[in-house]
Amino acid sequence: MRSIPLIILIIPLLVITLSACSETETVEIHTGDTDAAPPLEYLNNPGRTDTNPYSNMVVAGDTVYLAGAIGIDQETGEAPEDVEEEIRIVLDSMKERLERVGMSMNDLVSVQVFCPDLTLYDTFNNIYRTYFDEHFPARAFVGSGPLLRNGRFEVLGTAIRQ
């Protein structure tokens, strides 16, 4: 049996495809906002002295991106022995950073929690829920490998001014 050259089969498909494409129209999407994007502010925690390559938060207009933070005892430079104290330290840090730019925990829309010990899920939740008035942000609680300075939680988030 004689085989048909592949090009003979492909040409009709190209013609059909191209004719279908020629009937489409370009749609322009307008957001109604013609201003340039707001300037970015790169902010660090007061008193921060390290030179690690990150900002503690970046403000873009009404949106704030909070870098991951762990609950470090300022006196020892390590996570405290008491897990509940560590949770409060890390959440208080998040709250303080938001307050610096006139926002609150209620402005958070997304939070990620990294934790090497998933048995601490309920302990974290019992304290976490007390930091919000009514609605909770979208959140992931992710099992992780070891965290810096023996931390049990690293928390980061995104907030939008309400």
Taking a C-beta distance cutoff of 8 angstroms, is the pair 51, 145 a contact? no
Domains defined for the chain, CATH in brackets: 40-47+54-160 (3.30.1330.40)
Q: What is the pLDDT of residues 62-93, one digit of tens each?
A: 999 999 999 999 888 899 999 999 999 999 99
Cα 56 to Cα 21: distance, rounded to the nearest angstrom:
48
Q: What is the pLDDT of residues 2-59, one digit of tens each?
A: 555 544 443 343 333 333 333 434 344 445 555 688 899 999 999 889 899 999 999 9
3-state class of 156 per DSSP? strand
Q: 0.75 exceeded by the pTM?
A: yes
Per-residue CA distances from 77 to 89, 101, 153 (Å)? 12, 26, 15
The phi and psi torsions of 10 (rounded to 5 degrees) equal: -80, -35
Taking a C-beta distance cutoff of 8 angstroms, is the pair 126, 70 a contact? no
